Structure formats: C-alpha cells, structure tokens
C-alpha cells in the first residue's frame, strides 16, 4: 500500500494519516513532522526549514526531495508507506515519480481530501499538537479527554507557530498556487480519489479505507 494524502492545510491529512497507518501497518511519512522534529533537535536542517515554515512558505524542493528519497530507502517502507504533505509542487511530484519508477514501486493511490476554505481556518487556528508523539487534536472538533494533555502519551499539547490566522492565509495561498495543480497531475494518471473531508473524522476515514481496500 503506497499512498499519498493530498489536500490543503487543515484538510485532515495528519488526522487521517494517524489512523490509516495503524490500519495498514505502514510508516507515516510527513515532511512537516520531519521538519518539526529537526527544529526541536536544533539541527541545521531544522534551522533552515523554520525560516520558510514560519512565513507559511514552502521549503525548497531540493531540500525536501532529498529527504524523502532517502526515507524511502529505509527497510520499513518495504510493504508500503503513507506520504503526508509530500509532494506539494509539480517538481516534487515529478522527482517522486522518477524515484518510484527506478524502484519499480508504483503508487497504490492518491487520496485528495477536499475541504472548503472557511472551515480550514477554523480547524487550523483551533488545532493542538502533542509535543511528545505529534498526535493532532482540536479544541472543539477533536478535544483530548483532559485539557492540554495527550490521550495517547500524556504529553503536553501546544499550538503550532504557523497556525496563526495570518500565516494560515499565506499557507492557503501557497497551496492554491503550488500544490492544487497536483490534483490535475494525478487525475491524468488515473490514480486520484477525491473524498469530501468536511464530514466527521470517522466518516472521512471510512470512505478513504473503502477506496483503498478496493485497490488491493
Ligand atoms: P505540514 O505540517 O504538512 O502542514 P500543512 O500541509 O499545512 O497541513 P497541516 O498539517 O496544517 O494540515 P493537515 O491536513 O495535516 O490537518 P490536520 O489533520 O492536522 O507542513 C508545514 C510546513 O512545512 C509547510 O508550510 C512548509 O513550510 C513545510 N513543508 C512540509 N512539507 C513540505 C514539502 N513537501 N515541500 C515544501 N515544504 C514543506 O487537521 C487540522 C485540524 O483540524 C486539527 O485540529 C484536527 O483535529 C481538525 N480536524 C481534522 N479532521 C477534521 C474533521 N473531519 N472535522 C473537524 N475537524 C477536523
Ligand atoms: Mg499535518
Ligand atoms: Zn502524545
């Protein structure tokens, strides 16, 4: 099962990804999570990525592509993986295609999670993330049992620095210009499945899994 989750910021890629990787027992490869981990560790990559992320801009393609290409050589990807937040430019999609072709591992499907923009702003500004395990919550739509505490690991929840209204608007603009064209790109390859991501988390999950189960 080799899946891409495509969709604007706040569509629910991380939320659905967390659940999908448990069901299919594959690694969750989120480029955003990789950068946030690097920032936390204070590495050179983290310092470089933070500059772009805090402005709501994309990290340069050559940086991201190298990281993902390397990640896809790890043994845990042998039975598949879920890519969340990559690719998000045409150049990244083309580089990924070239790598997958060379490895003879075609994609199972690209799931496009579709949500209208007004809803995205509410979702992002109310999001909270666990410092320990990166599980995603929402103060209204998906609250933890105990306020500010992760249900899974007891870690502290925090608000991402790019989840301010201003940065969210910039991220949505970047999505429209640079990432939305991937919908047509994968549509032309006949591996695109669009789901209505505005429904309840469990309903969206049920639709995605019913699509993926048919691809086996
Ligand atoms: P990244 O971390 O990938 O952020 P993003 O794409 O902006 O997406 P989000 O993580 O914000 O949204 P999501 O779809 O995962 O939604 P979530 O499930 O959390 O990237 C961050 C930055 O890193 C980028 O801006 C860029 O700088 C850099 N970067 C990363 N990848 C890159 C790449 N490939 N190239 C270049 N730069 C890159 O849900 C959002 C909220 O909504 C949560 O609170 C959740 O609880 C709630 N929610 C989810 N589903 C529902 C539902 N069905 N109903 C109600 N609420 C819901
Ligand atoms: Mg995410
Ligand atoms: Zn946690």
Q: What pLDDT does 35 receive?
A: 96
Judge if the beta carbon of residue 11 lies within 6 A of ligand 1: yes
pLDDT in tens, 145-191: 999 999 999 999 999 999 999 999 999 999 999 999 999 999 999 99
| CB contact set of 134 (below 8 Å; sequence gap of 6+) | 14, 33, 36
Judge if the beta carbon of residue 127 lies within 6 A of ligand 1: yes
Mutate to test the pocket of ligand 1, among 5, 13, 32 (most ligand atoms within 8 A of CB): 32
Query: What spacing in Å lies between the alpha carbon of 41 and ligand 3's midpoint?
Result: 17
Give the integer Cα–Cα distance in Å for 18 and 27: 10
Sign (positive or negative) of CA dihedral 29, 216, 88, 54 = negative
Looking at ligand 1, which atom is closest to the CA of residue 5? 14
Task: Tell me 156's DSSP state.
Answer: B
Catalytic residues: 13, 88, 127, 160, 171
pLDDT in tens, 87-133: 999 999 999 999 999 999 999 999 999 999 999 999 999 999 999 99
pLDDT in tens, 22-58: 999 999 999 999 999 999 999 999 999 999 999 999 9
Say if residue 192 is preceded by a cis peptide, omega within 30 of 0: no
Query: What spacing in Å lies between the alpha carbon of 135 and ligand 3's midpoint?
Result: 6
Judge if the beta carbon of residue 171 lies within 6 A of ligand 1: yes
Q: What pLDDT does 216 receive?
A: 66
Give the integer Cα–Cα distance in Å for 112 and 208: 10
Give 4-41 as a DSSP string.
EEE--TTSSHHHHHHHHHHHHT--EEEHHHHHHHHHHH
Query: What spacing in Å lies between the alpha carbon of 29 and ligand 1's midpoint?
Result: 13
Residue ranges of domains in the chain, CATH in brackets: 2-27+74-115+170-215 (3.40.50.300)
Judge if the beta carbon of residue 142 lies within 6 A of ligand 1: yes
* Nearest residue by C-alpha to atom 9 in ligand 1: 9
Q: What pLDDT does 215 receive?
A: 85
* Nearest residue by C-alpha to atom 40 in ligand 1: 10
Stretch 131-142: mean pLDDT: 94
């Amino acid at each position: 099962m080799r899946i891409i989750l495509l969709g604007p910021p706040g569509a629910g890629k991380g939320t659905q990804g967390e659940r999908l990787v448990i069901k299919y027992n594959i690694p969750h490869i989120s480029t955003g999570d990789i950068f946030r981990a690097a920032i936390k560790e204070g590495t050179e990559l983290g310092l470089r990525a933070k500059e772009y992320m805090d402005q709501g801009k994309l990290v340069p393609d050559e940086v991201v592509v190298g990281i993902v290409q390397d990640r896809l050589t790890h043994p845990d990807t042998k039975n598949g993986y879920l890519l969340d937040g990559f690719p998000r430019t045409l150049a990244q999609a083309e580089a990924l295609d070239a790598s997958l072709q060379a490895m003879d591992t075609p994609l199972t499907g690209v799931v496009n999670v579709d949500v209208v923009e007004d809803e995205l702003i509410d979702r992002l500004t109310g999001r909270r993330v666990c410092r320990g395990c990166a599980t995603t919550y929402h103060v209204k739509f998906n609250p933890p049992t105990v306020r500010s505490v992760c249900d899974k690991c007891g870690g502290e929840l925090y608000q991402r620095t790019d989840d301010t209204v201003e940065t969210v608007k910039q991220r949505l603009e970047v999505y429209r210009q640079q990432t939305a064209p991937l919908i047509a790109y994968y549509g032309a390859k006949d591996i695109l499945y669009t789901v209505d991501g505005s429904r309840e988390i469990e309903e969206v999950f049920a639709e995605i899994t019913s699509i993926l189960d048919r691809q086996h």
